[in-house]
Structure 1
Amino acid sequence: MKWCVTALALACIATAMPSAVSAADPGMDSIVRGGRLYDNWYRELRVTPPRGTHPLFGGAVGLVSDAAATWRCTTCHGWDYGGAGGMPGITGYRGADPAAIVAILEQPPHGYGAVMRPRDLLDLAQFVSRGQLPMDDLVDAKTRRSKGLAAGYEDRYSTICAGCHGADGKKVRDTPPLGEVARERPHEALHMILNGHPSGQMPALRVLGAEAAAGMLAFLQTLPAQNLAGSVVRGGRLYDNWQAELRTLPPSVPHPAYPRSAVYAEDAPRTWRCKECHGWDYLGRDGGYASGPHATGIKGIRDLSGAPPEQVIAVLRDDTHRYGAVLKQRDLLDLAHFVSLGQIDMDRAIDRPTRKAKGVAARAVDYYGTICASCHGRDGAAIITTVPLGRLANDSPWEALHKILNGHPDEPMPALRVLGNDLLVDILAYLQTLSQDR
């Protein structure tokens, strides 16, 4: 009975929405383009957003990433169109005259006439008038689950969407896994299913009807989430050398925050590595990089251990770090997860004056012999492209432990973080018993 009621509700919505037959209607493409403008008009138009805060933004929405975000319709009016953070919604304009909506948009206090062309304003107005769906009829307000039926939509996803997003929804590094977005932000996901992504090639599926959109959302909500442990260790490899991990060309100019007087100031790729300023022990100027060729005088990252990942991402994107220009959203999130959740207190693992691991080598013999020796050899010297493990573990134990925890960038080396810190310190102690020469 419950299924029948849900199906009937979706059918009623579908009749209120332009049907698939209306695909030839020139207004359909205007509506979906307007939906993308509602999402992020300056990205859709590929223009520089205004630098100042929108005049109507009085702080009621709360913290936003930057001034440009205050100019996005979604920031104030929400993905469900009912308003966000105390700001009013736009549901009262369903069915309104698009020309009247344009007049509101182009004049103060909205003032979009100064930043959008007439056609852009009309498309946005078409969306506001004809493109809003009653989100509460499609998404359960309490559970945030789609009221659609996932059955039958695996084939549609696999043929229409998986080419870009992958079978598991994790392929695009610019976005979190689709399963997470669909479960945590279902209204946003549904809006994008209907209208596509600003300035992207994502097909807008509005033409298939509301029932199909709800069904697709229901299927997306079955896709797997990002594994947090996997994200942390990948973030650790990005911290080590993101250029190698991503197989990307390094920046051709030194990092702006790297001191010009420091030893490696002319080695541009090196200056962009996180570890080069903050160290293998994450203490920066207060740790192993306090002196020597790697000294920069830059502080460590220990203060960000336990910080919300969003706060870390904001730091990574700021004018000092500027990693938003070289890393994708997924990369930034993984790196933030490492900074927030992946740091360990190296001084509890390694005696700083002697550089000796505070573990028991004898406890790690079998672990090394079964997990590590197949690549590194019993003596730790089998890989000729790196120094013998005995030498690395004795000369730079903090680096060795970081790699035991997280693996090596762009290599199949297993990250052993899940085995627990005590055992990993034992493994480091065992490595320090291996020969330092070939």
Structure 2
Amino acid sequence: MEVITQEISVTNSSSTDLEITFLSLCDCLSIDPQSRTISAGERSLFNLTLEPEGYGVMSRHMLVDKNGKKTTTKVFVTLPDPPKETLSMGCPECREKEKAIEDQERAKKILDSWIIADIYYSPGCSTCEEFIMDAGVEYTIKKHNILEKEELTSLEKKLKLLDIGLKEFPLLIYKDRVLQGGEVNIEKFKKILSFKQETTLNEKYRNTLEYLKPLPIFFAGLLDGVNPCAFTTLLFLISSLFYVGRGRKEILTVGIIFTITIFLSYYLVGLGLLNVIRTAFIFPIISKVIKYILIIALLILSLLSFFDAYNAKKGSVNQMKLQLPKGIKKRIHNVIRKNTRNRGLVVGTIIIGIMVTIFELTCTGQVYLPIISYIIKIEASLSSYFYLTLYNLGFIIPLVLVFATIYKGSNNKKIATWFSSRLYIIKLLLGLLFVSMIFFI
């Protein structure tokens, strides 16, 4: 059959130059020129050449690259009527449908073979721009500005579908694989391109570790609950209640209200810190600064905790470094004395719980803040709200046990003696906790 030529016109209605490339998905269709740069507001002509098969209206698919954005388009060509002797030969419409399906399948294969990844970053990130320049030579990298609310919302939806937590920026997504922070480099990117999804013993091991991730959070909360800063305040509260003549039932009531107030107060403080740190982690420079500050602080805290453990072991408790400042300790005691004497026991206990939370943060925050950073880093299959709840449940368990022991008939002197005899162990465990957190934040 005779070759058909047709002219198409492309107009650049934008304010910038347009680089356009056509790629035919059929050997029967060619275009000349295949690539061209069209100035803003200008129009350019392209010649299509088709070797037809069949008769009637014929369609063929082409891939179009416009300034790096790839799409598919369909070209329609009206063919001359067939000779009368050929009308009874076959079904041109059927052949046309078959051809269209083949074109679509071929287009899909080509699109699938293209490497298209999404990078989410903030403007001014030099490492991001460097990666885009390196990867953009061979692959298509779509850029997304996380300072735009729509882009950030879109990212959060994608990560939710992938069941992956947002840790830090820049963030790169390719299919179901995600790189974050320092992982975003050309070497890591090429590795995930060649990655094959297989169920191996190593993956089963990693899945097991995923389920174990909440355990350090609970343990840290439990350890923070027996932190001398918090525990000595609890003992002082119980002593004050006995001193003003409160009965065991009243002490149990105070214990329930105090525990609930402490749990809610610490949870809300943690929620605020979580949102602030997570927002700060959006910016790579700020994220690195926070990380290094935490590492230095944890190193110092671990050394001081080991020093305190040594002093506690030899009975020199007054020489311990990590404890509430005398001024804050005095304020807490004044709040407790004032509100345990009030007739309004419920309101007084709530006030004590809130004020104790605020004043003790200078001490208990030493554990809380790094744990929140850890939560942001590992958040994946479970919500950060669950992790915060888990931490604070661990934190209030010592409170519950102490008040329950007092209600059962024990006294605060026995509890104080038990605590003092194990103070060096608690300090030692706190030191080990600080050291371990250096490797996980």
With the length of structure 1 as denominator, give the TM-score of the two structures.
0.24
Q: Which is bigger in relative contact order (C-alpha 8 A, separation at least 6)?
A: 2
More helix as a share of residues:
2
Over alpha carbons, which structure has the higher Rg?
2
With the length of structure 2 as denominator, give the TM-score of the two structures.
0.24
